[in-house]
Amino acid sequence: AELGELLEEQAAEPVHFIGHALGGLIGLELARRSPELVASLLLINAWSEPNAHSRRCFSVRRKLLLHSGPEAYLEAQPLFLFPPVWIAANSEWLEQESTHMLASFPSQANVLRRMAALQAWQPAPQELAEVHAETLVLATRDDALVPWTCSQKLAGRLPNSGIRLLPEGGHAVNVTEVERFNELMLDHLRKHRLPAEALTTEEAL
C-alpha cells in the first residue's frame, strides 16, 4: 500500500517492477491492487504459496537467531542463498559481507516479523488471476531455499506470464550469475518498450 501511494504521489509512469523473493511478492500485490501503476513484472525465485521445504529452512533460521544469535544466523545464511561451489570460491567476500551485515543487523523482532510475513503470504488463485501485467518468472533449479517448482506453479497462475529456468545460480542468482541475470532482465525490459538508450549493464547492477 505504501509503495502504491508513493508512486501515485510522484505521478510516476507505470513501472517495470523487478523483485526478488519477498520483493517479487510485493510487486505482485502492487500489480493486483493498483494495475495502472505496473507495466511489467520480473519475479526472481518467487512463489504463490508456502511449501514444506522453505518452511523447514525458515524454522532452522529462526532457531539460529533465537538461540545462537545474529552472528550464527549470518554465518548460515549463505547456505540458503548460494550454490556450494560459489560459496567455496567467494569465501573472502562472504566474510566481508557478514561483518558488514552484523554491524547493521536489524532488531530480532524485525527479522522474525519478516520471516513470518514470507511464510504467511498465500493469495487465493483468483487474486493471482487478477494480475494482468506482463510477467517473467525467473527461477533456478538449484535454489536451496525455494524449490523451482514453486515459481513454476506461480507462473501457471498468472494469466500473462512466462518462466525461465536456469540450471544453477542458487536463490540469489542475481548475485551469483550477474551477467546472465542482467541479460535476461534487459531483454525483458526491452520487450516492454523501455527505451534501449536507458539501459546499460552498469545501471542494472
Q: What strand order describes the sheet that includes 134-140?
A: 15-20, 38-44, 134-140, 161-166
Torsion over CA: 15, 16, 20, 25 (sign)? positive
- How confident is the model at residue 13, as a pLDDT? 84
pLDDT, one tens digit per residue, over 1-44 is: 678 877 777 777 889 999 999 999 999 999 999 999 999 999 99
Task: Give the pLDDT score at 195.
Answer: 53
- pLDDT of residue 108 exceeding 80: yes
Q: What is the largest CA-CA distance in the chain?
A: 51
**Could you read off the pLDDT of 151-181 as tens digits, one per residue?**
999 999 999 999 999 999 999 999 999 999 9
Strand partners, 163: 137
Strands (E), the chain: 15-20, 38-44, 134-140, 161-166
Phi, psi for residue 135 in degrees, rounded to 5: -130, 135
Name the percent of the chain lying above pLDDT 70.
93
